[in-house]
């Protein structure tokens, strides 16, 4: 069931969901945020285990808990003694809502754009008429490993030539060499793409990431958004 | 807009332009994914937003402004920023809203300076660098507002009052401290602009030497 739903919704749905969640996080009163978080979690559950991976990270929970703890220490009157600490009830309550808002936003990003593959992103750009940007993203992704090699080679070359005796000159030489070599590699990419007749200005047919299910999903989001906004909880 | 190196800046991008956008976007993204990630581990965000943010903002501004010297077209810097932000999103650390917003905002600010100023001159680089890095000052306020919603003003009010009492300063002096912190960002940005101008020239000379 999960696989079927996931397979029908394209990258457009993921972006729509992110925009929807961001808008509602900004507009909804505090109490309705619980319902929004439930929707985000449900969407993330449908998106697979990876989509909700922030929930398994210690760093995520440290961030959320630190909001609650710091708020109870910093905001409002310290009217709640707890051992040697004096906490604030109003600060604790406010911190709880702030933490909930932070959870909604972080998870909304993770379950939407965070779960998109590079090919999804490239396809999305191309369907929006930004074929050049999609192409550039693809080139950049493939460049990362090459850049690593360029930086490593340049670093070791400078080190073996005793470059670290003059640190500022070395940093300048490192940057100039890395950028120059990256641009030379870029020129090779241009030659290779030209040889294959690739033109970023020409739009090729058949590239469409907008599916019927995406439209239905967007309508559903609109309805649910209206319900959350205007339904008195 | 005028022409630069015989190329109409309003015309469509050539294949080489897109590849160079990819190169500089990848350089910025790689810097964020490696140096940015290490610095965030060494100085956790809750404890330090000044050092890490300022370093990465300065480095990003240098890379993107060197890139602007090789792709003198409207929207090039913004495209580099989008690519860097997406690479950061696709990195092993996962989706992080803060750095993505910062990258996009810095690219947008640099783009705003360069868009009506063609050909870009030395002082445009200084201005663009200052503007881009000064975002680092507002970033924390904006992110706190986006992430935590209402109530954050009270946190800052309390922080300023507490900080003032610890340092033996009154609120007016605390405002002066905030202004000084902002000016540090502007100065770092100006240095980044200067370095980008010099570095871009050096790279051009190196590549011209090959030809």
Please give the pLDDT value at position B6. Answer: 40
**A183 and B70: CB-CB below 8 Å?**
yes
Please give the pLDDT value at position B162. Answer: 57
The arithmetic mean of pLDDT across residues B190-205, rounded, is 94
Domain ranges of chain A: 2-116+210-230, 130-195
- What proportion of chain B, given as a percentage, has pLDDT over 70? 73
Question: Does the pLDDT at position B126 exceed 50?
Answer: yes
Our CA-based measurement puts residue A144 at a distance from the nearest CA of chain B, in whole angstroms, of 6
The arithmetic mean of pLDDT across residues B48-56, rounded, is 75
ipTM of the complex: 0.82
In chain B, residues with a C-beta closer than 8 Å to the C-beta of A139 are 18-19, 22-23, 26
**B19 and A189: CB-CB below 8 Å?**
yes
Our CA-based measurement puts residue A136 at a distance from the nearest CA of chain B, in whole angstroms, of 5
pLDDT in tens, B170-184: 767 767 777 777 888
As given in the structure block, the two tokens for residue A105 are: 């936003």
pLDDT in tens, A60-107: 888 888 888 887 887 777 787 877 778 888 888 888 888 888 888 888
The size of the A-B interface in CB pairs under 8 A is 151
pTM of whole model > 0.80? no
Which one of B19, B89, B158 has the shortest CB-CB distance to A139?
B19
In chain A, residues with a C-beta closer than 8 Å to the C-beta of B152 are 98
Residue-wise DSSP of A129-193 = T-HHHHHHHHHHHHHHHHHHHHHHHHHHHHHHTTGGGSHHHHHHHHHHHHHHHHHHHHHHHHHHH
Please give the pLDDT value at position B44. Answer: 61
Q: Is A195 on the interface with B (CB under 8 A)?
A: no
Helical spans, DSSP H, in B91-170: 97-114, 122-148, 152-167
Please give the pLDDT value at position B118. Answer: 73
Instruction: Report the mean per-residue pLDDT for chain B.
Output: 79
As given in the structure block, the two tokens for residue A149 are: 């090699």
Question: Does the pLDDT at position B108 exceed 90?
Answer: yes
Residue B64: closest CA among B75, B77, B74, B53: B77
pLDDT in tens, B56-68: 899 999 999 999 9
Our CA-based measurement puts residue B196 at a distance from the nearest CA of chain A, in whole angstroms, of 11
Please give the pLDDT value at position A45. Answer: 85
Q: Is A171 on the interface with B (CB under 8 A)?
A: no
Whole-number Å distance between alpha carbons of A32 and A217: 21
Please give the pLDDT value at position B8. Answer: 45
Our CA-based measurement puts residue A131 at a distance from the nearest CA of chain B, in whole angstroms, of 10
Question: Does the pLDDT at position B22 exceed 60?
Answer: yes
Please give the pLDDT value at position A129. Answer: 74
Please give the pLDDT value at position B9. Answer: 46
Whole-number Å distance between alpha carbons of B53 and B159: 20
Please give the pLDDT value at position B100. Answer: 86
Which one of A101, A179, A189 has the shortest CB-CB distance to B148?
A101
Do A9 and A217 contact (CB within 8 A), yes or no? Answer: yes
Which one of A30, A54, A200 has the shortest CB-CB distance to B13?
A200
Domain ranges of chain B: 3-210
Which residues of chain A register pLDDT less than 50?
Answer: none
Please give the pLDDT value at position B3. Answer: 40
């Amino acid at each position: 069931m999960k696989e079927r739903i996931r397979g029908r919704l394209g990258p457009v749905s993921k972006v729509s969901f992110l925009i929807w969640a961001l808008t509602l996080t900004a507009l909804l009163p505090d109490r309705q945020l619980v319902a929004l978080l439930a929707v985000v979690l449900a969407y993330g559950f449908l998106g697979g285990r990876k989509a909700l991976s922030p929930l398994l990270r210690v760093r995520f929970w440290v961030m959320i808990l630190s909001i609650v703890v710091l708020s109870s220490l910093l905001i409002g009157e310290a009217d709640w003694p707890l051992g040697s600490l004096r906490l604030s009830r109003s600060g604790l309550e406010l911190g709880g809502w702030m933490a909930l808002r932070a959870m909604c936003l972080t998870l909304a990003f993770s379950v939407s754009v965070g779960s998109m593959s590079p090919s999804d992103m490239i396809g999305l750009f191309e369907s929006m008429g930004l074929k050049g940007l999609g192409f550039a993203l693809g080139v950049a992704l493939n460049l990362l490993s090459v850049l690593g090699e360029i930086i490593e080679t340049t670093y070791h070359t400078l080190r073996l030539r005793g470059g670290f005796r003059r640190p500022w000159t070395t940093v300048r030489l490192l940057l100039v060499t890395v950028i120059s070599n990256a641009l030379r590699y870029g020129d090779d990419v241009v030659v290779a793409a030209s040889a294959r007749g690739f033109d970023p200005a020409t739009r090729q047919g058949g590239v469409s990431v907008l599916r019927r299910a995406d439209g239905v999903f967007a309508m559903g989001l609109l309805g649910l958004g209206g319900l959350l906004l205007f339904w008195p909880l | 807009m005028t022409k630069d190196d015989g190329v109409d800046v309003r015309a469509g991008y050539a294949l080489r332009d897109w590849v160079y956008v990819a190169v500089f976007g990848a350089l910025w993204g790689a810097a964020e994914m490696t140096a940015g990630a290490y610095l965030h581990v060494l100085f956790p965000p809750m404890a330090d937003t000044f050092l890490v943010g300022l370093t990465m903002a300065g480095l990003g501004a240098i890379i993107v402004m060197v890139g602007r010297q090789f792709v003198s077209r409207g929207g090039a810097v913004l495209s580099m920023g989008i690519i860097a932000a997406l690479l950061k999103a696709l990195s092993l650390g996962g989706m992080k809203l803060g750095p993505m917003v910062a990258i996009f905002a810095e690219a947008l600010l640099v783009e705003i300076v360069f868009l009506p100023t063609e050909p870009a001159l030395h002082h445009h680089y200084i201005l663009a660098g200052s503007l881009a890095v000064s975002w680092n000052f507002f970033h924390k306020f904006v992110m706190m507002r986006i992430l935590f919603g209402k109530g954050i003003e009270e946190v800052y009010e309390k922080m300023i009052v507490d900080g003032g009492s610890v340092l033996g300063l009154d609120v007016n002096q605390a405002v002066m401290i905030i202004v000084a912190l902002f000016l540090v960002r502007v100065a770092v940005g100006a240095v980044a602009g200067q370095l980008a101008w010099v570095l871009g020239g050096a790279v051009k000379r190196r590549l011209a030497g090959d030809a």
